[in-house]
Amino acid sequence: MRLIRQSIEKKTGEGRCTMSPEEPEDMWHAYNLIREGDTLRATAVRKVATESLSGSTSTHRVRTTLTITVTKLDFDSHASQLHVSGRVSEENKHVKLGSFHTLDLELNREFTLEKAGGWDSVALDTLKESINEDAKAQMWAVLLNEGLANICLVTSHQTILRQQIETNMPKKRPGSTDHDTKLKKFYQRVYDSLLRQIDLADAKPILLASPGFTASEFQKFFKAKAEGDKKLKPLLVKITIAHAASAHVHALAEVLKSQGVTKSVTDARFSAESQYMDTFLEMLRKDDPKAWYGPKEVEAAAEQGAIGKGGGVLLISNSLFRSQEIKVRKRWVKLVDSVKEAGGDVKILSSMHESGKKLEDLSGVAAILTYPIKDLDELVEGVQG
Amino acid sequence: MSGHRRVKDIDYDEEDLYDEVNEDDAEPDTQAELTPEDQANFATLTPVVRAELHEAGLQASDREIQDALWNYYWDVGKSVGYLRGLRGKKVNGGGGAKKEKVKSKFEEVEEERARKAAGGWTSAGLDLGQPESWFHDVTWSHVPEAIVGDLITPTKRRPSMLGGSSKLAKLAEERKRKAEAAKVAATASSLDHLTLDGTHEQSKGRSPDTQPAAKTRNYPARRKEPSPPPKLPEPEPEQEVKEAISDLRAPPTAFGHTLSRSSRNPDQRQTLQVHNLLGSSTSPDAFSGPSPDDIVTRAQGASRSLNNTKSKPQKSIANGVNGLPKSVDALHLNGTSAEQSPVQPKVKSKNMDVTKIWTETAATRRPAAAFVVIGHVDHGKSTLMGRLLLDTGAVHQRDIDRFRKEATEQGKASFALAWVMDTSADERERGVTVDIAQHHFSTDTADFTILDAPGHRDFVPNMIGGASMADIGVLVVDANQLESGLKGQTREHVLLARAVGLERIVVAVNKMDGAVPAWDQHLFRSVSEEVRKLLTETGFDRDNIKLVPCSGLNGDNVATPPAASGLTAWVTQSSQTLISALEDFAGSTATSSESLNNHLRLQITDIFHASSQHPISVSGRISAGTVQIGEPITIMPSSELASIKAIDVADSPVEYAVAGQLVTLHLTADDIEQLERNVRIGDMLCSSSSPIEVVSDFTTTLLSYQPLLPGPVEVHIGRLQLPGRTTSLLELVDAAGGTVKRKPRIVKAGLRAKVKVTVDRALPGDEGDRVVIRADGETLGSGTISGLGERWIGAASGN
């Protein structure tokens, strides 16, 4: 995302910001920035009906700049499109005040956003994150085993499952080549699907991961196919092989944190999230009283100042900030602010990544405390009862 | 023009046969005008006809004349003849006093006949083929309730004259309506009678006493009129029936009916169950009503007894049969709605009482068992099994020699025996088993099936699939590398073998020849102790553990005991061979009659193309129930229907199979390709009468091996593996099932807990199914399904 201009008051958070999304990933940032009640200004194509003097009506499409008060957001992760619906809040000659319009944010078209309750710390962080040019790495990850392949696009902030290929793989049986021929066919399908997804002009690194040897077998297959093709040859050097526990998408988290992968992938960002989550889960498995999850538990810990200087980390999923209720959202912003105040580290995990999904399964918020608190859950329950 | 006339005639005729309710809705066409040409024709010909009639001393209105002309396509002679006949009759019938407009039944029928004769009317002229054949090979049945839609009959315009119909057409409509009214009044005319009989027959088909009992279904709306009291005419002698059957056309299906009928009322929606569309008569309940043949007989009898004149026998048969489709159709609707009847009548079933046969033959049967070979990678599982097959004669020495030659070329001479099991290029090249291999062999007293499981940790899912098909476990332990195994897959495999329900286990302490010193008895003892400890800890009963020292590579103490002197002397004295240990266990493997009487369940572990005769075959272990050739089955979660064409047990064909057996089922279905497309490994093959539940979540009481958190997991039920997540840790329980703590934040290793698991895909499961939960390549826990959750609806959207 490119920042065009901004006029945000640091103290009050009032003001507006004009941005221009440059790549599909930016729609994800916009989705995380825009909230219900915000004011959004962008260009739109609107059908306008005009009535001529003789009384006949004609409709034509006009490109006009609309300002709407957001009522609904709809993000299509597969197509990376964001549709924002709302009521028109500034009248112009084509559109009446209060009529509804759905803005489809477009690449390279500016939009201006003004937050309803001002820009809070989380919103500012998201904004900062979104205009950060460094975090733009992407790669393809193909998770496969014999008979199942998941082709994913991994970006700094999202893991998008682009295609799933599944076939019945007959078992090996004496005197039958059924298995081998079916396997060849399966590889061919994965190969074709992968090439259909990849933009050859701007090829990203490709990670092949599987249990067993399927990934390296597929790499061989890929090599044999692509060797003679000038266009495809540059792809070969971008392929990395890794081990995965299974071919299911959630195994990707484990793959991304493995050392071989972090080295070969230019940006370590995607694995950074995985690592934080991993440390936390490891502590939890050991039943370390410094690791806690659950909204009440974490809030109680934050109140006590246990997520502070010297190792306190708050892990929070960004889906919590997408809540439709401003009250709920404020609750989490308050939590983030209080941890920051206490000197703790705040990590906002993307719900579109596997590590973020793991966090979501743990209610979306977790914390590593500075000092251990035993039976925090019972304390919380006691307060309630 | 005559062409159009013909179309109209047919429509008229069909109306008689199929339409009764909608008759009143007929809208006369109004916009039509005669072409100038037609008008000129009328103008010139009407006076001519009138003159002719006048000569004959008859009078006729312009309308009648024009009508006649129209019908006879401007043929003056015929028109006059017709009108003359008409007038004559009228005088004879004594109804001449009436006004022309009010026409009698006689005239109507006469007119129609004449028209038909003149127009060269044939039904074949417009035959679109039997409607039911349009949907011939489409499988409709077992469509989930949710997607059964309403069928709105298309508003087919009645064929009419070019440029719309004339006033004459209007008149025709008018007359037709009257004719209908007259029919109901039942004035005696042979033709009318026949149609009426049809209606009677139809209502009989629908009357409660002939209907399968208490089935509520939405019938098409057109069946609205109340059933007249059934009037059963005396059946006619046999010989006439035969004649009738030869003329029988296939009855149209309900769907065909609906399509071929012309509805003049587009708003009339007809609720039609897709099940009703099946014209098949395979439903068991179909026989509770009168059979189609009976109905033909009755219809025929009725038509004949009432049709005294018998002037047109052919026609009466045709009509009697034409009246039939409705009655047969009504029967079908009832029959198919009664139960979800499978649509594959292709394979005849002998309808054996398999359970009875099985229990009766129990004494004479050879014991049979399947065993899974488990253990750490490179402990020699495949080699030991290769040896077993070689020594029992299941594999020829010359095959082994060939393998040895090939293996030596690759520098892996010691893998020759393993290549019996590891047949894929991949496995041979790397010397690692990847997937379960299945082989059969027989000893003097028992039949065995080997399931050779992969030892490598990446292929544990395959091992779970294999172990869940076995009766006995064979744990192969490298005597010299016990430690690596206990840390690795030896431990995990033992846990999993217990988790999938194996109770008996033979421990083959392998590579005894490679020990230092070779065949060291102390080594065997210490290894035995360790392994026994592990097994009892895991939950195996001491009596169900047998330990055997052996060497797979050389074949000592596998099938035959080693030399009774020298290093191995102690072995012959104190231990049995691997084979005899297996035989001991095989003898005690028996299928309980309880599981035989349950509904058929078989988890599909393989789908393949066996031969051109058997394009689609599945294999697996029957976990409950029995199966026989010809049995209709349903595969869940796709609800695909199929029938059993042939059954193989241990590569030889049989007529039936029972729970506990490993079988290959050769299937047949209406649409094999669809079946192949929709059926996946891990699906459950069930009896069509009671398919398994398909759910999207379940609760399980499990024992954890690793700390368990809410999060993404893989759910394994036998061969089935699904991505899913443990959504909530409900409570920690103790061994007796009492609650220890509600909503724990984590389930530590070794504890029992009740956990809710949601799966991302449809899961066919039953309560009591054994489930293993894994994540990141580690087994987290295992248990049984204690409660099924929400029914699977479809792929959940979202990220």
Residues 6+ apart with CB under 8 A from B64: B83, B86, B100
- With beta carbons under 8 A apart, name residues in chain A contacting B436: 171
Domain end position, chosen among A266, A300, A318: A266
Record: contact A168-B748, CB cut-off 8 A:
no
In-domain check, residue B55: yes
Q: Which long-range contacts (CB under 8 A, 24 or more apart) does B612-616 make?
A: B613/B666, B614/B645, B614/B646, B614/B666, B614/B667, B615/B672, B615/B676, B616/B666, B616/B667, B616/B668, B616/B669, B616/B672, B616/B675, B616/B676
Do A185 and A220 lie in one domain? The reply is yes
In-domain check, residue B240: no
Minimum distance, in Å, between the CA of residue A380 and any CA atom of chain B: 13
Do A85 and A29 lie in one domain? The reply is yes
Tokens of B597: 């009487």
Output the domain CATH number for residue A301. Answer: 3.30.1330.30
**Number of domains, chain A:** 3
Cα–Cα dist A151/B599, whole Å: 40
pLDDT of residue B717: 92
Do B500 and B605 lie in one domain? The reply is no
Do B610 and B557 lie in one domain? The reply is no
Half-sphere exposure of B782 (CA within 13 A, CB side): 22
Do B387 and B506 lie in one domain? The reply is yes
Interface with A, mutate which of B426, B489, B614 (most A CBs under 10 A): B426
Task: Summarize pLDDT for B691-748 with one digit per residue, the tens.
Answer: 899 999 999 999 999 899 898 899 999 989 899 999 989 999 988 878 888 888 889 8
Tell me if chain A has a CB within 8 Å of the CB of B399.
Answer: no
- In B456-485, the residues whose Cβ lies within 8 Å of chain A are 456, 458-459, 461
Record: contact A284-B423, CB cut-off 8 A:
no
Minimum distance, in Å, between the CA of residue B291 and any CA atom of chain A: 44
Q: Which domain holds residue A285?
A: 269-382
Bridge partners (DSSP) listed for residue B756: B699, B728
- With beta carbons under 8 A apart, name residues in chain B contacting A170: 606-609
Do A143 and A122 lie in one domain? The reply is no
- With beta carbons under 8 A apart, name residues in chain B contacting A178: 608-609
Output the domain CATH number for residue A98. Answer: 2.30.30.870
Do B641 and B772 lie in one domain? The reply is no
Interface with A, mutate which of B678, B745, B797 (most A CBs under 10 A): B745
Confidence of residue B98 (pLDDT cuts 50, 70, 90): very low
Do A70 and A108 lie in one domain? The reply is yes
- With beta carbons under 8 A apart, name residues in chain B contacting A362: 709-711
- In B577-606, the residues whose Cβ lies within 8 Å of chain A are 605-606
Q: pLDDT tens, position by position, for chain A (385 residues)?
A: 888 888 888 888 888 999 998 888 888 888 988 988 899 999 888 888 888 888 888 888 888 899 999 999 998 877 888 999 999 998 888 888 888 999 888 888 899 999 888 888 888 888 888 887 665 667 889 999 888 999 998 887 778 888 899 888 888 776 677 888 888 999 999 999 999 888 887 778 888 999 988 999 999 999 998 888 888 888 888 888 888 988 888 888 888 777 677 666 645 556 667 778 888 988 888 888 889 898 888 998 888 888 888 888 999 998 888 877 778 888 898 999 999 888 888 888 888 888 888 888 888 999 999 888 887 777 776 655 4
In-domain check, residue B704: yes
Confidence of residue B316 (pLDDT cuts 50, 70, 90): very low
In-domain check, residue B169: no
Record: contact B777-A77, CB cut-off 8 A:
no
In-domain check, residue B76: yes
Record: contact A166-B438, CB cut-off 8 A:
no
Tokens of B548: 């055997």
Do A125 and A8 lie in one domain? The reply is yes
Phi, psi (rounded to 5 degrees) for A5:
-155, 155
Q: Which domain holds residue B618?
A: 596-687
User: Closest chain A residue to B780 measured between Cα atoms?
Assistant: A285
Output the domain CATH number for residue B637. Answer: 2.40.30.10
Do A103 and A89 lie in one domain? The reply is yes
Record: contact A287-B707, CB cut-off 8 A:
yes
Do B380 and B395 lie in one domain? The reply is yes
Domain end position, chosen among B587, B608, B628: B587
Tell me if chain A has a CB within 8 Å of the CB of B426.
Answer: yes
Domain end position, chosen among B687, B702, B729: B687
Q: Which residue has the higher pLDDT, B211 or B672?
A: B672
Tell me if chain A has a CB within 8 Å of the CB of B726.
Answer: yes
Record: contact A166-B776, CB cut-off 8 A:
no
Tell me if chain A has a CB within 8 Å of the CB of B651.
Answer: no
pLDDT of residue B284: 46
Do A199 and A275 lie in one domain? The reply is no
Bridge partners (DSSP) listed for residue A61: A47
Length of chain B: 799
Tell me if chain A has a CB within 8 Å of the CB of B750.
Answer: no
User: Closest chain A residue to B425 measured between Cα atoms?
Assistant: A180
Number of H helices, E strands in chain B: 24, 22
Do A244 and A361 lie in one domain? The reply is no
- With beta carbons under 8 A apart, name residues in chain B contacting A248: 712, 714, 723
In-domain check, residue B485: yes
Record: contact A248-B709, CB cut-off 8 A:
no
Tokens of B51: 């003159």
Do B403 and B506 lie in one domain? The reply is yes
Rounded to two decimals, the pTM is 0.65
Output the domain CATH number for residue A151. Answer: 3.30.420.60
Cα–Cα dist B8/B128, whole Å: 15
Record: contact A245-B711, CB cut-off 8 A:
no
Domain end position, chosen among A201, A234, A266: A266
Do B566 and B641 lie in one domain? The reply is no
In-domain check, residue B279: no
User: Closest chain B residue to A319 measured between Cα atoms?
Assistant: B799
Output the domain CATH number for residue B557. Answer: 3.40.50.300
Do A155 and A261 lie in one domain? The reply is yes
Minimum distance, in Å, between the CA of residue A237 and any CA atom of chain B: 24
Tell me if chain A has a CB within 8 Å of the CB of B424.
Answer: yes
Task: Summarize pLDDT for B255-311 with one digit per residue, the tens.
Answer: 666 666 544 444 444 444 444 444 444 444 555 555 666 666 666 655 554 444 444
User: Closest chain A residue to B617 measured between Cα atoms?
Assistant: A170
**For range B448-471, the mean pLDDT:** 89
User: Closest chain A residue to B429 measured between Cα atoms?
Assistant: A213
Do A230 and A279 lie in one domain? The reply is no
- In B655-684, the residues whose Cβ lies within 8 Å of chain A are 676, 679-681
Confidence of residue B795 (pLDDT cuts 50, 70, 90): low
Confidence of residue B341 (pLDDT cuts 50, 70, 90): very low
- With beta carbons under 8 A apart, name residues in chain A contacting B431: none
Domain end position, chosen among A241, A266, A291: A266
Do A191 and A144 lie in one domain? The reply is yes
Tokens of B793: 């609806």
Do B651 and B526 lie in one domain? The reply is no
User: Closest chain A residue to B713 measured between Cα atoms?
Assistant: A250
- Interface residues of chain A, partner chain B, Cβ below 8 Å: 77, 146-147, 166, 168-174, 176, 178-180, 211-213, 217, 243, 245-246, 248-251, 254, 281, 284-287, 292-294, 297, 351-352, 354, 357-358, 361-362, 377
- With beta carbons under 8 A apart, name residues in chain B contacting A293: 745
Do B468 and B560 lie in one domain? The reply is yes
Phi, psi (rounded to 5 degrees) for B422:
-85, 95
**For range B59-66, the mean pLDDT:** 78
- With beta carbons under 8 A apart, name residues in chain A contacting B458: 211-212, 243, 245
pLDDT above 50 (res B198): no
Residues 6+ apart with CB under 8 A from B758: B696, B697, B724, B725, B727, B789
Domain end position, chosen among B83, B107, B138: B83
pLDDT above 60 (res B608): yes
Do B522 and B630 lie in one domain? The reply is no
Tokens of A179: 């298995």
Closest partner residue to B606 among A171, A246, A293, by Cβ? A171
Task: Summarize pLDDT for B126-149 with one digit per residue, the tens.
Answer: 455 555 556 666 555 555 666 666
Taking the CA atoms of chain B, what radius of gyration do you get in angstroms? Answer: 39
**Residue A166: strand, helix, or coil:** strand
Do B575 and B624 lie in one domain? The reply is no
Do A71 and A171 lie in one domain? The reply is no
Record: contact B607-A285, CB cut-off 8 A:
no
Record: contact A168-B607, CB cut-off 8 A:
yes
**For range B89-93, the mean pLDDT:** 51
Do B553 and B608 lie in one domain? The reply is no
b/e B537-551 (16+ beta carbons within 10 angstroms → b): eeebeeebbbbbbbb
User: Closest chain B residue to A75 measured between Cα atoms?
Assistant: B798
Tokens of A187: 């590889």
**Number of domains, chain B:** 4
Q: Provide ipTM, 2 decimals.
A: 0.77
